[in-house]
Structure 1
Amino acid sequence: MSSKSIVNGHRMRKRFGQNFLNDSNIIARITRSVSPKETDRIVEIGPGQGAITEDLVGAGAKVTAVELDRDLIPWLVVKFEKDTNFDIVNADALKTDFGAFVDDEPLRIVGNLPYNISTPLIFHLLSFSGAIKDMHFMLQKEVVDRMAAGPGDNNYGRLSVMTQYLCQVIPLFIVPPESFDPPPKVDSAIVRLVPRTEVDTLLDESFFATVVRTAFNQRRKTLRNSLKPLLQNVDVASLGIDLSLRPENISVAEYVALANHLVEANKAQ
């Protein structure tokens, strides 16, 4: 995409990864998937020119838009100036404290996420999962495939494990490139993430993240080799997990059990 592309009078910014949704059928389908209500507290990430925002606000939900591109702010302010249930924040979603938006209702997050920041942004949002009711995202289809993949699938990796530990991942439908202006070079997909009300207990969440990251950093190696720095002085025979397997071959629950075992083993030393 050229950084000089102009859509509806707005100069597109390549560094923001902007592709504006302009397919009314897809917009309506997304709105039906979200099913916004007057009682909802919605935070929309990257509203662009307000294609989805219009439906969310029109449903009566209290909507806060988080937009990084300052050039879009005045345009959106004018577009929604009569809507008292809309406000906008000029901020980087990667650095935003989403907990600050919570009032009487848990947050519902909606966003057409830029491909270049989608994975780190998902990890950032998962840190607020206790304050979130659900999330509906438009992402690169490849990212949704990775989030939803199970053990044994080539797409199964760190993003799969960390997301599925905290959320139920529900892929909804594919959005073709021609639904955007300018069209991206890849298919997109809509996914629903629902934070779990109950999760397997972790003794150390930070260490769990370290175990998963370390395992998949060398995904072609066996777990025994990829996790070698973390397995020193640990009785691996008592793990109950086959460490001759590769990282993509064990489940989320097994990663939890593995991390907890290593925490306990380190305490005993």
Structure 2
Amino acid sequence: MTAGQASRDPDRLLDRAGVSGNPDRDQHFLVDERVLDRLPTHLPADADRSHVLEIGGGTGALTDRLLATSDRVTVVERDPDLAAFLRDEFAAAIADDRLTVIEGDALEVDLPDATASISNLPYGVSSEITFRLLPLGIPTVLMFQREFAERMAAEPDTAEYGRLSVSAQHYAEVEVVETVPPTAFSPPPAVDSAIVRTTPRDPDYKVEDEEFFLRFVKAVFTQRRKTLRNAVRNTVHISGIEDPDAVVDAAGEALMSKRAGELAPDEFAALASLAAEGDGRSDG
């Protein structure tokens, strides 16, 4: 398919594929043509569209739009029947070497060297897939449950701000660019959805040990209602810190009196670096 041709009708794709969606298998097909048409436009204007990765191709309604706006597309689809349908429906694009269909679980297969990702993610594994994509350092446009999307983009000292916010914003600028009602899907999910754009960035802080940083953030947010003093001391089984009292003493009273939800990502980075450098923790 080339840019400018009419897009495939999502309802007719469902009919041709002989599927209707199954909430028990986390299958909610995006069928609103206006939303489908807008999804590729949410990439940053200067994004490299030469090779776009789509997770969860379904019946190809979004794949069709991506082929119209990108040079090459790779689709990962775990359902064998849908993967076979995509290969048949888009045989011409495959023959032209513009489309590759990978049958398999997006959490297990080798992901290609894509330049961007635009995907309507399976909500049940959206977090795990997101944190496979973000470290790749490519811009993404991803569909999530609205609550998840708002937590990804949340600012410090808000109810939504948490481990997800800090971890996602460590890799990228995160923006909720559009909310999407249940009626845009077949079958409609029980929740509103939202489209999130992530734009890779180098954080304005330095993390020597990224694995420990993310583990430390996870640890203290398990006790987000407690002061950092208590959270650091109570979560050594997660963080791996060997001498939490030394970290508390070194960080100082002003910082340790705060709660996790009050710290910006750069403050987490400083505290994690202090912990990593100063207490002789184990890496296990």
Q: Does the alignment pair 1:62 with 2:75? A: no
Aligned to 2:147, the other structure's residue is in SS state helix
User: How far does the alpha carbon of each residue in 1:94-138 deviate from its partner, in whole angstroms, 9 at most, with x for none?
Assistant: 12332xx12xxx520111111111112212222323xx2x01101
Shift of 1:168: 0.4
User: What amino acid does structure 1 have at the position aligned with 2:122?
Assistant: P
User: What amino acid does structure 2 have at the position aligned with 1:53?
Assistant: T
Aligned to 2:214, the other structure's residue is in SS state helix
State whether residues 21 and 179 of structure 1, in contact with CA within 8 Å, keep that contact through their aligned partners in structure 2.
yes
Q: Does the alignment pair 1:90 with 2:106? A: no
Q: Percent identity?
A: 36
Q: What runs of 5+ residues in structure 1 fail to find an aligned partner?
A: 1-6
State whether residues 21 and 29 of structure 2, in contact with CA within 8 Å, keep that contact through their aligned partners in structure 1.
no
Which structure features the higher share of helix residues? 2
Alignment partners' CA distance in 2, 1:86 and 1:97 = 16
Shift of 1:75: 1.2
Q: TM-score, normalised by structure 2?
A: 0.83
User: What amino acid does structure 2 have at the position aligned with 1:205?
Assistant: E
Alignment partners' CA distance in 2, 1:238 and 1:110 = 44
State whether residues 19 and 183 of structure 1, in contact with CA within 8 Å, keep that contact through their aligned partners in structure 2.
yes
What is the match of residue 3 of structure 1?
Answer: none
What is the match of residue 242 of structure 1?
Answer: 255
What is the match of residue 28 of structure 1?
Answer: 37
What is the match of residue 123 of structure 1?
Answer: 131
Aligned to 1:189, the other structure's residue is in SS state strand
User: What amino acid does structure 1 have at the position aligned with 2:128?
Assistant: P
The number of residue pairs the alignment matches comes to: 255
User: How far does the alpha carbon of each residue in 1:130-151 deviate from its partner, in whole angstroms, 9 at most, with x for none?
Assistant: xx2x011010010110000011
Alignment partners' CA distance in 1, 2:167 and 2:39 = 25
Alignment partners' CA distance in 1, 2:49 and 2:228 = 47
State whether residues 37 and 59 of structure 1, in contact with CA within 8 Å, keep that contact through their aligned partners in structure 2.
no
Q: Does the alignment pair 1:209 with 2:219? A: no
State whether residues 16 and 69 of structure 1, in contact with CA within 8 Å, keep that contact through their aligned partners in structure 2.
no
Q: What runs of 5+ residues in structure 2 fail to find an aligned partner?
A: 1-13
Aligned to 2:102, the other structure's residue is in SS state strand
State whether residues 151 and 161 of structure 2, in contact with CA within 8 Å, keep that contact through their aligned partners in structure 1.
yes
Task: Calculate the aligned-residue CA RMSD, in Å.
Answer: 2.2
What is the match of residue 232 of structure 1?
Answer: 244
Alignment partners' CA distance in 2, 1:39 and 1:29 = 15
User: How far does the alpha carbon of each residue in 1:58-80 deviate from its partner, in whole angstroms, 9 at most, with x for none?
Assistant: 23420000000111012111111
Q: 1:196 aligns with which of 201, 204, 211?
A: 201
